[in-house]
Structure 1
Amino acid sequence: MNDESLSLKDKSIVVTGAAQGIGRAIADLALKLGATVTAVDLNAGALEAFRDEAGKDRVLPMIGSVAEIEFAQRTVDEAVTKFGAVHGLVNNAGITRPAMIEKMRVEEWQQVIDVHLSGSFYFLQAVGRHMLTRSRAGDKAAGSIINISSDAGRRGTIGQINYGAAKAGLLGLTMCAAREWAKYNVRVNTVGFGVVETPMTETIRSEKFADTYLAQIPLGRWAEAVEVARPVCFLLSDAASYITGQHLSANGGYTIGV
């Protein structure tokens, strides 16, 4: 099937946490679908290599922390200068600081909240302001924002209350923004993942824990990064023009009925 609505041609997409793993898979697929990408990460070397591989006319590397509010606005400003507009945002950047609840230090709690929840808000706000300005000026295709959540935010997780709380918070962030911005044709959705084959999930996929987790996944395997990139790019595209305020789980059936 050849459906032009699935294309991202002429769309400018900001992807946070784009240097590796899921973020890189989303950025790669967006490029293949015709988009230009503003790639955000702390890993300067990886971003610059990505730009050199894809071409300076297709990728704008932005090196910095999503937890810095000024950096979010600077990213939007530079993306608009280079590509003319921002049509999509994927809030994907993330870290983990695991510890059991009674042993978790305040710093470990705050670091994860700052990156996953506050950082997503900063970028959503900065990109959203730009999209609303365009919408008010008559642009009917204002844009699409996807917040990357997790099964940890819907079912809870052991040893990562900071991560689970932040990912649950992203569901509220999505629903509030979707309600406020629907009249401007700014769509806001969440995609939540289970266990994806990335460096961040090496511990869960280790011999010690693998059987326990796999037994709870009806499809019986881990997700590949490209498999979770596809639903994200679908929501960025015009094929999802009537979808907003939704939470899509790409997790092999781990949260059926939840």
Structure 2
Amino acid sequence: MKHPASLENKVIIVTGAAQGIGKALTEHAVAMGARVAAVDINRDALEDGLSAHGDASVRCFAGDVTDEDFVADVVRQTVAEFGDLNGLLNNAGIVRAAMITDMNRAQWQSVIDVNLTGAFVCLQAVGRHLVGKAKQGDPNPGSIVNVSSDAGRRGTFGQINYGAAKSGVMGLTMSAAREWGRFNINVNSVCYGLVETAMTETIRQERFRDRYLETIPLGRFSTPEEIAPATCFFLSDAAAYITGQHIGIDGGFHITS
């Protein structure tokens, strides 16, 4: 019997795939049977990190997720080389931390550009393809998972740009779920808490560590490998009746005051 969370025969685009969460998502998707188009702006890190899989499982695309032409080309090449496209793990993101009173316009805009506009560009490009499949008679064209954050639903300290962008990602999710539900396209968000990546290195330092751990009911930070299975679940057939949701994969962080 096929595993209910299997991604066998599915073709997935993963953005921000070179390291951290994106790399873990790619690794898990491949382990569950998917073929992956891995996207990242850092070509060397992308190819070095995923070279072990070979072209049969992973194809690497280096470029900027805010570039509409690049993203559209990734969709075209993925379909041409793998024969289909069934989903998107919309994960690419950056941080540019500063207190509100000190944040400059460049810090604000760079995070909005990548984390929100880039997420829209990728969602739109993949969505166009999935809607086209539906109009051609495919009853199950595919699914999209947008990576948001608890910063987007409870606020954050020193990263108002990131919190605003991740709130916006949840808006993308709900709007796309409403528009594309009639095509049987599922769109959901996952909201991570504190994951052990380079992006959270500062707040995991000794002087902040205990303060943050006290706000997590499970009492520990998560690893990218730990959150990947739950995230990829929303691309599987087992999640076929779930759409428009914001799912916390955060050890309970979002429920604490």
Q: Does the 8 Å CA contact 1:13/1:86 hold for their aligned counterparts?
A: yes
SS of structure 1 residue aligned to 2:188:
strand
SS of structure 2 residue aligned to 1:131:
helix
In the alignment, residue 120 of structure 2 is paired with which amino acid? F
Q: Does the 8 Å CA contact 2:215/2:256 hold for their aligned counterparts?
A: no
Deviations 1:220-254 (A, max 9, x none): 00001111111111001000000000000011111
In the alignment, residue 110 of structure 2 is paired with which amino acid? Q
- 2:212 maps to what in 1? 213
SS of structure 1 residue aligned to 2:17:
coil
**C-alpha distance in 2 between matches for 1:207 and 1:65:** 34
Q: Does the 8 Å CA contact 2:17/2:23 hold for their aligned counterparts?
A: yes
- 1:98 maps to what in 2? 97
- 2:123 maps to what in 1? 124
SS of structure 2 residue aligned to 1:103:
coil
Runs ≥4 residues deviating over 3 A: none
Instruction: For structure 1, list consecutive stretches of 5 or more residues without a partner in the other structure.
Output: none
**C-alpha distance in 2 between matches for 1:90 and 1:138:** 24
TM-score normalized by the length of structure 2: 0.97
Matches within 5 A, 1:194-213: 194-213=193-212
Question: Greater CA deviation, 42-51 or 20-29?
Answer: 42-51
Deviations 1:86-112 (A, max 9, x none): 101011001001111111111111100
- 1:77 maps to what in 2? 76
Deviations 1:173-225 (A, max 9, x none): 00000000011011000000000011111001001110110001010000011
Deviations 1:3-59 (A, max 9, x none): 533110110000000000000000000000000000000111122224430011111
CA RMSD of the aligned region, Å?
Answer: 1.2
**C-alpha distance in 1 between matches for 2:110 and 2:68:** 15
Change (3 A) 1:76 1:250: same
In the alignment, residue 247 of structure 1 is paired with which amino acid? H
- 2:111 maps to what in 1? 112
**In the TM superposition, what is the alpha-carbon distance from 1:69 to its structure 2 partner?**
1.5
- 1:21 maps to what in 2? 20
Deviations 1:121-152 (A, max 9, x none): 00000000000000111111110100001111
SS of structure 1 residue aligned to 2:143:
strand
**C-alpha distance in 1 between matches for 2:150 and 2:231:** 16
Change (3 A) 1:136 1:257: farther
Matches within 5 A, 1:136-151: 136-151=135-150
The percentage of aligned residue pairs carrying the same residue is 54
- 2:38 maps to what in 1? 39
Matches within 5 A, 1:43-54: 43-54=42-53
TM-score normalized by the length of structure 1: 0.97
- 2:159 maps to what in 1? 160
Instruction: For structure 2, list consecutive stretches of 5 or more residues without a partner in the other structure.
Output: none
**C-alpha distance in 1 between matches for 2:235 and 2:131:** 17
**In the TM superposition, what is the alpha-carbon distance from 1:158 to its structure 2 partner?**
1.1
Q: Does the 8 Å CA contact 2:22/2:91 hold for their aligned counterparts?
A: yes
Q: Does the 8 Å CA contact 1:153/1:167 hold for their aligned counterparts?
A: yes
Q: Does the 8 Å CA contact 1:113/1:163 hold for their aligned counterparts?
A: yes
Deviations 1:149-186 (A, max 9, x none): 11110110111000000000011100000000011011
In the alignment, residue 42 of structure 1 is paired with which amino acid? I
Deviations 1:55-89 (A, max 9, x none): 11111101011111211111101111111121010
**C-alpha distance in 2 between matches for 1:29 and 1:249:** 19
**C-alpha distance in 1 between matches for 2:2 and 2:244:** 24
Q: Does the 8 Å CA contact 1:51/1:58 hold for their aligned counterparts?
A: no
